[in-house]
Amino acid sequence: MESAEIARRFLRFFEERGHTVVPSASLVAEDPTLLLVPAGMVPFKPYFLGQRKPPAPRLVSVQKCIRTPDIDEVGKTTRHATFFQMLGNFSLGDYFKEKAIPYAWELLTKPESEGGFGFPEERLWVTVYQDDDEAADIWHKVVGVPLERIQRRGLADNYWHMGVPGPGGPCSEIYYDRGPEYGREGGPVADENRYLEVWNNVFMQFQLSEVRNKVDFDVAGELPSKNIDTGMGLERMAAILQGVDNIYEIDTTYKILDRAAELTHTKYGRDSRADVSLRVVADHTRAGVMLVADGVLPSNEGRGYVLRRILRRSIRNLRLLGAGEDRYMHELTATTIDVMGELYPELKSDAANIHTVIDAEEASFLGTLRTGTAIFDAAVEESKRKGAPILSGDQAFQLHDTYGFPIDLTLEMASEQGLKVDEEGFRRLMKEQRDRAKADAAAKKTGNADISVFSGMLEKAGKVDFLGYDHTTAEAGVIGLIVDGGAVPAAGEGTTLEIVLDRTPFYAEGGGQLSDQGVIRTAGAEVEITDVQSPIAGLVVHRGKVRTGEIRVGEQAQAEIDLERRRAISRSHTATHLVHRGFRNALGESAAQAGSENSPGRFRFDFTAAGAVAPSVLRDVEDEVNAVLINDLRVNAYYTSQSEARAMGALALFGEKYGDEVRVVEVGDYSRELCGGTHVASSGQLGLVKVLGEASIGAGVRRVEALVGLDAFRFLARESVLVAQLSEQLKARREELPERVEGIVTRLRTAEKELEKLRSAQVLAVAGELAAGAVDVHGVSVVTHRAPAGTSPDDLRKLALDVRGRFPSDRAAVVVVAGVPSDRPVVVAAVNEAGRGRGLKAGQLVGVAAKALGGGGGGKDDVAQGGGTRPEAIGDALRAVEETISSSLT
């Protein structure tokens, strides 16, 4: 039974029993304490905590999940994975154990021909919490499970809570006996490898007031309404129903693994090291594709770093499999989209965007690998020079943390060089980093309290009506006031606060559009509003400061936005839509929006692209957009179903998730997008759009910045004045300026090169004189010289090598040259082969000089360079070198 069919049967079974099917939430968690969704119940957490009203009392879903704490173990075992899917049915104050337990048993044991999973009853075992007699009785007396296959377990195994105060309760798990070939008899308490958990029923019936750890918590009492949260791992179910040993051999994973093996000319199951790499590639490619599809882009922080790490581990392991510089991620991404697309059709519609992001990250990382390898080679050379047969933990950690090298790659490369790695030191540094991350995460667990305050406001006000599409002022009631994170009945002059109204004309920041600003007035107060946010769906929170008087909950208020600011932002937002369409027309549909910011008079637009956009394309897009403005196309907004909007060709933003009803914004027949922002009435109101330029902001993502309306006119006016001034100074017509400026720059560069040659010749002219004036120190010719100020480091090096080369090969010689190229001193030492034979080393001598200069340096034995911060100490540095040479030879 394929994975997609398992999911369909699960959803259909519970839908037939009154459950509302809820689509998978995005992997990007709404919970402020989480980066990504790590469990199937996370999107339902606000319902269990009473922070939001659920859409129905019975829900069922297939939820995408990502877990990365054990990412370094992925591939080494067949149990660990980063991406997985959880099938879950949920009851929110409706049914409890009496229905949840029979539902689970019925679906698992019903024959496949009747829509079930066909598990033999005699191979199923169950566990219950040690004190949960009610669940045990239902299993035995209602379902009919023999007592010998019902096992009781303690808090560590059969009790669930969220790790923070809130709902919790006992759980009951169902296990499948895979047979004696997988382990010993005795049920789950004896062997959880043989007896595999397939279903977990969580019975939320208690309110926990204090949670210290998994098994240490305080129970405040029973919940007013009891809830059911069940979970069944789709991948684990697929392994059982498809008759394979582990999750890497199921349909949606093995096809990726098999394609990776085919591309790298390897075979799964023949070599344990290759098998690890193939499993990493299969799991991480799948996880990476799903993250990109949900709008996550590679970066060096947050969830973007999680994605980058996952993709780079895939690329590194392809390299270990023999891929070298070949790029295989495009092929593997295509395979992933194909195998996962049946459950998630958006993967196929967003395929071009997903490919663009992952291909760019692969190209970028292959370059990083080359750089990291060079750093590794330098570390190896340093270790060998010191005679140390081991790479330090610091070096291994730097390679891992800065250049993305996993420890196994460092170990392998070190082994090839005959070196070991201080793994203990590396693990210690990794643990310190994890501990810091855990401390940061723990510090964020106050997020639930804040959400609870907002949730209380939402319950009281209901969904706040947004009137801003049609009104710029509105009468409203003050539903709530929040000061320092807590609800208050009133706030006086000078207080910074948050205000919740039952209706508002203020636009809350979202979809790239900055929030409105303005004023809220009551009979006794005036509040300046500087920011508006929507912390939870349906709630609008106005942030500002009380200018005068006192505002109180329950009062009537007049809300008024800054109209000019709104108009300027609306012009920018409409311009963003037009530029988006323009780039798609120029570059193809893969040029998908990856972010934006619509500010008064200007905007930035991020989009996916494989490389830099040619200036000619920027000009063409700008011309096309301004032609739309001249035609003054009508801007129309309306609501429709998501399916109808897509059928009409409306663009949905890459990575954004939408409800069943969506708002479509059209600019004539030119642009059609799903959008909740504010816009102008016609394109002519934009006046002018001026694209300033584009640049990379990450692998596969480009950013365009542009001006709109008066800001664009003012920019062009300033440009015109500047061009007029240049035309006057250069005595050239405007159209001749580029050629004239290019000629001046060319002549200037030529002159600079000639000057550089003259300076070098002047510096090197003294080489013969310096060699002739060498001082004999115990049979070694020693030259120390201070070069004229402004001599470049490159010329200092050339001079030292030139002077050294003037001595006969059988004559030991040392040359040390110092100078001040700008404001910092530089010293170069050169020792010939005969001098090195006398035990003199350039790196050591530079170290002595650099120390006197207040800095450091080093290099090879024949030539080395260093520097410092004290130019006045050059004389002392050269004397220190002379003394070191004399004492060394003595």
Tens digit of each residue's pLDDT (9 = 90 or more) over 298-355: 887 788 888 988 998 899 889 889 887 788 999 999 999 999 999 999 899 889 889 9
623 CB-side CA count, 13 A:
7
Please check if 577 is assigned to a binding site.
yes
Distance from C-alpha of 256 to C-alpha of 313, rounded to nearest angstrom: 15
* Sign, Cα dihedral of 667, 669, 672, 676: positive
Distance from C-alpha of 534 to C-alpha of 548, rounded to nearest angstrom: 26
User: Which is nearest to 90 in space by CA: 38, 48, 30?
Assistant: 48
My answer on whether 785 and 687 are in the same domain is: no
Distance from C-alpha of 665 to C-alpha of 651, rounded to nearest angstrom: 10
List Cβ<8 Å contacts ≥24 apart for 727-734.
none
Q: Which two tokens stand for residue 157?
A: 């195994």
Contacting residues for 95 by C-beta, under 8 A, at least 6 apart = 58, 228
Is 660 a residue whose pLDDT tops 80? no
Contacting residues for 719 by C-beta, under 8 A, at least 6 apart = none
Distance from C-alpha of 583 to C-alpha of 702, rounded to nearest angstrom: 11
User: Which is nearest to 332 in space by CA: 283, 274, 405, 272?
Assistant: 283
List Cβ<8 Å contacts ≥24 apart for 109-118.
112/1, 115/9, 115/12, 115/13, 116/9, 116/13, 117/1, 117/6, 117/9, 117/237, 117/241
Give domain status of residue 113, yes or no.
yes
My answer on whether 495 and 592 are in the same domain is: no
Q: Which two tokens stand for residue 508?
A: 């809350």
Distance from C-alpha of 484 to C-alpha of 275, rounded to nearest angstrom: 54
Contacting residues for 654 by C-beta, under 8 A, at least 6 apart = 295, 350, 353, 592, 593, 594, 608
Give domain status of residue 434, yes or no.
no
Indicate the range of 556-560, 733-737, 832-836, 861-865 predicted with least confidence. Answer: 733-737
Q: What pLDDT sits at residue 445? A: 38
β-bridge pairing 863-867 and 856-859: antiparallel
What distance lies between CA 321 and its chain's CA centroid?
Answer: 26
What distance lies between CA 559 and its chain's CA centroid?
Answer: 38
Helix or strand holding residue 597 (H, E): strand 593-599
Please tell me what DSSP assigns to residue 96. Answer: -
What's the average model confidence in pLDDT over 838-866? 86
> Average pLDDT, whole number, for the chain?
88
Please report, for residues 511, 685, 689, the alpha-carbon distance to residue 577 in angstroms, rounded to integers and kept in the order given.
12, 14, 12
CA 104-105-108 angle, to 5 degrees, is 85
Which amino acid is present at 644? E
Structural domain boundaries enclosing 368:
251-387
Specify the number of domains making up the chain: 5
My answer on whether 577 and 505 are in the same domain is: no
State whether residue 450 is helix, strand or coil: helix
Please check if 675 is assigned to a binding site.
yes
φ, ψ (nearest 5 deg) of residue 19: -90, 140
Is 459 a residue whose pLDDT tops 80? no
Can you spell out the DSSP letters for 302-355?
A: HHHHHHHHHHHHHHHHHHHTT-TT---HHHHHHHHHHHHTTT-THHHHTHHHHH
Give domain status of residue 768, yes or no.
no
Q: What pLDDT sits at residue 376? A: 78
Per-residue pLDDT band at 458 (split at 50, 70, 90) = confident
Q: What b/e string do you get for 326-337 counting C-beta neighbours within 10 Å, with b at 16 or more?
A: eebbeebbebbb
My answer on whether 193 and 271 are in the same domain is: no
Please check if 679 is assigned to a binding site.
yes
716/444: higher pLDDT? 716
Q: What pLDDT sits at residue 363? A: 85
pLDDT, one tens digit per residue, over 366-377 is 877 777 777 777
Distance from C-alpha of 828 to C-alpha of 721, rounded to nearest angstrom: 50
**127 has which bridge partners?**
151, 173
User: Which is nearest to 286 in space by CA: 335, 342, 350, 229?
Assistant: 335
Q: What b/e string do you get for 465-501 counting C-beta neighbours within 10 Å, with b at 16 or more?
A: ebbbeeebebebebbbbbeeeebeebbeeebebbbbb
My answer on whether 607 and 680 are in the same domain is: yes
State whether residue 151 is helix, strand or coil: strand
Please tell me what DSSP assigns to residue 264. Answer: T
Per 3-state DSSP, the chain is made up of helix, strand and coil in percentages (nearest 5) of: 45, 25, 30
User: Which is nearest to 479 in space by CA: 497, 464, 495?
Assistant: 464
Per-residue pLDDT band at 659 (split at 50, 70, 90) = low
Q: Which two tokens stand for residue 378?
A: 């330098």
My answer on whether 455 and 526 are in the same domain is: yes
Give domain status of residue 424, yes or no.
no
Distance from C-alpha of 705 to C-alpha of 601, rounded to nearest angstrom: 11
611/12: higher pLDDT? 12
Give domain status of residue 813, yes or no.
yes
Distance from C-alpha of 405 to C-alpha of 496, rounded to nearest angstrom: 47
Give the residue from 669, 689, 717 where a domain finishes: 717
Q: What b/e string do you get for 387-410 counting C-beta neighbours within 10 Å, with b at 16 or more?
A: eeeebbbebbbbbbeebbbbbbbb
My answer on whether 542 and 574 are in the same domain is: no
Give domain status of residue 427, yes or no.
no
CATH code for the domain of 182: 3.30.930.10
Residue 116, exposed/middle/buried by CB under 10 A (0-12, 13-18, 19+)? middle
User: Which is nearest to 791 in space by CA: 821, 764, 769?
Assistant: 821
Contact (Cβ atoms closer than 8 angstroms) between residue 862 and residue 883: no
Please report, for residues 157, 495, 502, 651, 669, the alpha-carbon distance to residue 492 in angstroms, rounded to integers and kept in the order given.
52, 6, 21, 46, 51
CA 838-843-849 angle, to 5 degrees, is 105
Q: Which two tokens stand for residue 266?
A: 């390897």
Contact (Cβ atoms closer than 8 angstroms) between residue 294 and residue 26: yes
My answer on whether 214 and 126 are in the same domain is: yes
State whether residue 156 is helix, strand or coil: helix
Per-residue pLDDT band at 16 (split at 50, 70, 90) = very high
pLDDT, one tens digit per residue, over 190-218 is 999 899 999 999 999 998 888 888 889 99
pLDDT, one tens digit per residue, over 254-313 is 999 999 999 999 999 888 889 999 999 999 999 999 999 998 888 877 888 889 889 988
pLDDT, one tens digit per residue, over 740-776 is 888 889 999 998 888 877 777 776 778 888 888 889 9
Distance from C-alpha of 333 to C-alpha of 256, rounded to nearest angstrom: 9
Helix or strand holding residue 636 (H, E): strand 635-641
Give the residue from 528, 561, 594 where a domain finishes: 561
CATH code for the domain of 511: 2.40.30.130
Q: What pLDDT sits at residue 656? A: 59
Q: What pLDDT sits at residue 438? A: 58
User: Which is nearest to 399 in space by CA: 386, 418, 383?
Assistant: 383
pLDDT, one tens digit per residue, over 496-548 is 999 999 999 999 998 889 999 999 999 999 999 999 999 887 889 999 999 99
My answer on whether 164 and 92 are in the same domain is: yes
CATH code for the domain of 778: 3.10.310.40
CATH code for the domain of 672: 3.30.980.10
Distance from C-alpha of 675 to C-alpha of 662, rounded to nearest angstrom: 8
Give domain status of residue 408, yes or no.
no
State whether residue 449 is helix, strand or coil: helix
pLDDT, one tens digit per residue, over 41-53 is 888 888 887 777 8
Q: Which two tokens stand for residue 514?
A: 């900055």
Q: What pLDDT sits at residue 768? A: 84
Give the residue from 209, 244, 279 where a domain finishes: 244
Give domain status of residue 826, yes or no.
yes
Q: What b/e string do you get for 416-438 counting C-beta neighbours within 10 Å, with b at 16 or more?
A: eeebebbeebbeebbeeeeeeee
Is 693 a residue whose pLDDT tops 70? yes
My answer on whether 90 and 39 are in the same domain is: yes
Is 456 a residue whose pLDDT tops 90? no
* Sign, Cα dihedral of 639, 642, 646, 651: positive
My answer on whether 231 and 95 are in the same domain is: yes
Contacting residues for 736 by C-beta, under 8 A, at least 6 apart = none
Contact (Cβ atoms closer than 8 angstroms) between residue 406 and residue 369: no
My answer on whether 456 and 512 are in the same domain is: yes
Contacting residues for 337 by C-beta, under 8 A, at least 6 apart = 289, 347, 348, 351, 354
How many residues are given for the chain? 890
